[in-house]
Amino acid sequence: MDNNLINEIKNSVDIVDVISSYLPLSAKGKNYFGVCPFHDDHSPSMSVSKEKQIYTCFSCGATGNVIKFIQDYENISFLEAVKKIADIAGISVNIKGKNDYNKNQDLYDIYELAQKFYQNNINSSKGKKARDYLHSRHLNDDIIKEFGIGLSLPDRDILTNMLKNKYDETTLIKSGLINEGEYDLYDVYHNRIMFPLYSLSGQVIGYNGRVYNGETENKYVNSKETPIFKKRELLYNYHRAKDECRVKKCVFIVEGPMDVIRCYSVGVKNVVAALGTAFGHEQAMLIRKLSSEVVLMFDGDDAGLKGTKTALVELEKIGITPKIVRLENNMDPDEYILTKGKDTFLNKINNPMNIMEFKSSLLKMNTNLNSSEELAKYANNMINEISKIDDDVLKEISINKLSDETKLDVNFIKDKVASLKPIKEVKNEVKSVKLSKYEKSEQALLYYMLRSEMVIKIYDKKITYMPTAKYRHLAFQISYFYKQHGNINISDLITELHDDPESLNTIGEINMLKLNEEVDVEAINDYINNIRIYNEKNEANKYKDELKQEVDLKKKVELAMKAIAFKKRREEENE
């Protein structure tokens, strides 16, 4: 697409309005601030400028315009982000954007073919038994189609033979769909109902294959990790659930695909799955992009309890205090809905435990509250947990509940809580790199070049070379943009540099500088002089080094004459 059209689409929306639809922003001066979604941020460190139509995180350096924000927040391609903004603005454009698959394009293509193959199978006469099984599990044809559920056939080489004509053996094995046998390749999945696993932007990248003929061994066969499928970086159903989560302002986390699908069947669509109980930091960061209101609903068995505790820790690390639903009789959400019914399930999830109720239930396990000694241990543990609560209202409620349970005086509990100072995690501070006055001058000059046409003109006239490569590259891009458009606009510049990550990172670094917005010509000239002095010293040192290394007398004289001429020219320029 033409950059002018892209910028026209970008400029049709207000970045403050768009970003505030994803996360809360508060006005502070002429800018807006919010918690940065691109790093582990606990206090508002991301500034959004209505005037410049850009955002900058003063902690991690993330910087961009509204396109860049949606691209990174949604984990979609540049063109897909443009299309999303066009939709917001009500502008009709024909964009078919795909992620930049680069070296892994073959793997995505293989999965696209495999998905069509499996879906064709389940819709054919050979798929009748599998369809009947899914229908018996109360999954109708609409749900089957919505979630792309397919079928692998009993033969173990159909998919292999289909793909061998187009892809080499190494690529097929790397895909995780094909195995290498003693004599030949064969399909990993056979005679299983295939539940596709999706990337964050909606491409099929793996499978969860389930038996349906009554087999008791290996109920599920899950995809192994590949270059495009890394379980710890994914949440099942993320691409479908993200908009619903933002509308409902809540996200439910379950364990597996079948739990998600079952929730969908009863109208609960703001749900994702952790693909097991090993919930990690990357998944927690994805959850934070969906909503700050989180409900954990893992299976009711011991493994689900363990997974709940793990997810709880990871979410608390990034400032999210989730609520918890525990399902009785070791049931998972799928079983619970089928057994108890839709209404009972909805009532259950609409009344989750808060975090202190959950911790209380854990501490009560295997505890005899009729024993004074065990009651005291329980009370001390609860007081310790209450002391960690940041929410004053929840803290007060928890204190009163503990008083009712233990018959301890409320003021006694409050005093005990107040006496406990939570141990704050000591983080290793990243030592800032000390910059020379020349590098500081380069940074400051770029800062004002991004904001002033006058400074760009001064740069073009007086500076021919920035000493630092990344600053030199950005200076060139700014100067080129100005020559092309006759003005400087950071937001539009970012659009043109969308496929130049080095320049975008440098813009982020420069925008983090806390300099006065007003241009001081005298200061600009100081920056210019510092850079010129550096270049002159560098040039002089180059002549000195060449003179030392040169053995030919005639060439030595020539170099000496050049050095004298350079020195004289420098003196004249500095007069």
**pLDDT computed for residue 544 by the predictor:** 62
246-256 average pLDDT score:
92
| Confidence label for 99 from pLDDT (cuts 50, 70 and 90) | very low
Per cent of the chain over pLDDT 90 is: 60
Letter string b/e over residues 69-91, b meaning 16 or more CB atoms within 10 A of that residue's CB: bbbebbbbbbbbbbbbbbebbee
Q: Evaluate whether 153 touches 121 at the Cβ level (below 8 Å).
A: yes
> What whole-number distance in Å separates Cα of residue 290 and Cα of residue 244?
9
Q: Which amino acid is at 378?
A: Y
What is the DSSP code (8-state) at residue 125? G
pLDDT at 431 over 70: no
Residue found under tokens 């141990």: 423
Give the number of other CB atoms < 10 A from CB of residue 476: 12
| Confidence label for 101 from pLDDT (cuts 50, 70 and 90) | very low
pLDDT at 206 over 50: yes
pLDDT at 313 over 50: yes
**pLDDT computed for residue 186 by the predictor:** 94
Q: Evaluate whether 368 touches 374 at the Cβ level (below 8 Å).
A: yes
Paired sense of beta strands 294-296 and 251-254, if any: parallel
**pLDDT computed for residue 429 by the predictor:** 42
Q: What CA dihedral angle connects 201, 202, 204 and 210, to 10 degrees?
A: 120
> Closest Cα partner for 334 from 287, 271, 280?
271
**pLDDT computed for residue 390 by the predictor:** 80
Question: From start to end of 165-291, where are the E strands?
Answer: 178-180, 185-187, 192-198, 204-210, 220-222, 251-254, 271-273
pLDDT at 243 over 90: no
| Confidence label for 100 from pLDDT (cuts 50, 70 and 90) | very low
Per cent of the chain over pLDDT 70 is: 89
> What whole-number distance in Å separates Cα of residue 259 and Cα of residue 262?
5
**pLDDT computed for residue 572 by the predictor:** 52
- Distance of alpha carbon 491 from its chain centroid, rounded? 22
| Confidence label for 97 from pLDDT (cuts 50, 70 and 90) | very low
- The pLDDT tens digits for 463-480 are 878 889 999 999 999 999
Q: Which residues pair with 272 in a beta bridge?
A: 253
Rounded to 10°, the helix 521-549/553-574 angle is 170
**pLDDT computed for residue 428 by the predictor:** 42
Question: Who contacts 428 (Cβ-Cβ below 8 Å, separation ≥6)?
Answer: none
Q: Evaluate whether 53 touches 491 at the Cβ level (below 8 Å).
A: yes
Rank 94-98, 246-250, 261-265, 528-532 by mean pLDDT and report only the highest: 261-265
pLDDT at 61 over 70: yes
Instruction: Give the SS3 label for residue 254.
Output: strand
> What whole-number distance in Å separates Cα of residue 544 and Cα of residue 552?
15
pLDDT at 302 over 80: yes
Residue found under tokens 């989730």: 322
What is the fold, at CATH topology level, of the domain defined by 233-353? Answer: Dna Topoisomerase Vi A Subunit; Chain: A, domain 2 (3.40.1360)
446-454 average pLDDT score:
95
Instruction: List the structure tokens of 370.
Output: 């009729």
pLDDT at 358 over 80: yes
> What whole-number distance in Å separates Cα of residue 478 and Cα of residue 446?
9
- The pLDDT tens digits for 478-525 are 999 999 999 999 999 999 999 899 999 999 999 999 898 899 999 999
Sign of CA dihedral 132, 136, 139, 142: positive
Q: Evaluate whether 196 touches 148 at the Cβ level (below 8 Å).
A: yes
Instruction: List the structure tokens of 164.
Output: 């061998």
Domain at 107-229, CATH from 3.30.2320.80, 3.90.980.10, 3.40.605.10, 1.50.10.10 = 3.90.980.10
Domain locations in the chain as residue ranges: 3-89, 107-229, 233-353, 358-419, 437-574
| Confidence label for 427 from pLDDT (cuts 50, 70 and 90) | very low
- Please give the angle made by the CA atoms of 217, 218 and 222, to the nearest 5 degrees: 175
521-535 average pLDDT score:
87
**pLDDT computed for residue 542 by the predictor:** 65
Domain at 3-89, CATH from 3.90.580.10, 3.30.420.40, 3.90.950.10, 3.80.10.10 = 3.90.580.10
Q: Evaluate whether 472 touches 480 at the Cβ level (below 8 Å).
A: no
In terms of phi and psi (left: phi > 0; alpha: psi -120 to 50; beta: otherwise), the region of 550 is beta
pLDDT at 123 over 70: yes
Sign of CA dihedral 495, 501, 506, 512: positive
- The pLDDT tens digits for 171-202 are 999 999 999 988 889 999 999 999 999 998 88
138-142, 333-337, 366-370, 456-460 — which is least confidently predicted? Answer: 366-370
- Report the chain's mean pLDDT, rounded to a whole number: 88
Distances (CA, A) of 130 to 187, 214, 260, 265, 316: 19, 12, 19, 18, 42
Q: Evaluate whether 293 touches 272 at the Cβ level (below 8 Å).
A: no
> What whole-number distance in Å separates Cα of residue 230 and Cα of residue 283?
11
> What whole-number distance in Å separates Cα of residue 566 and Cα of residue 575?
14
pTM of the model: 0.75
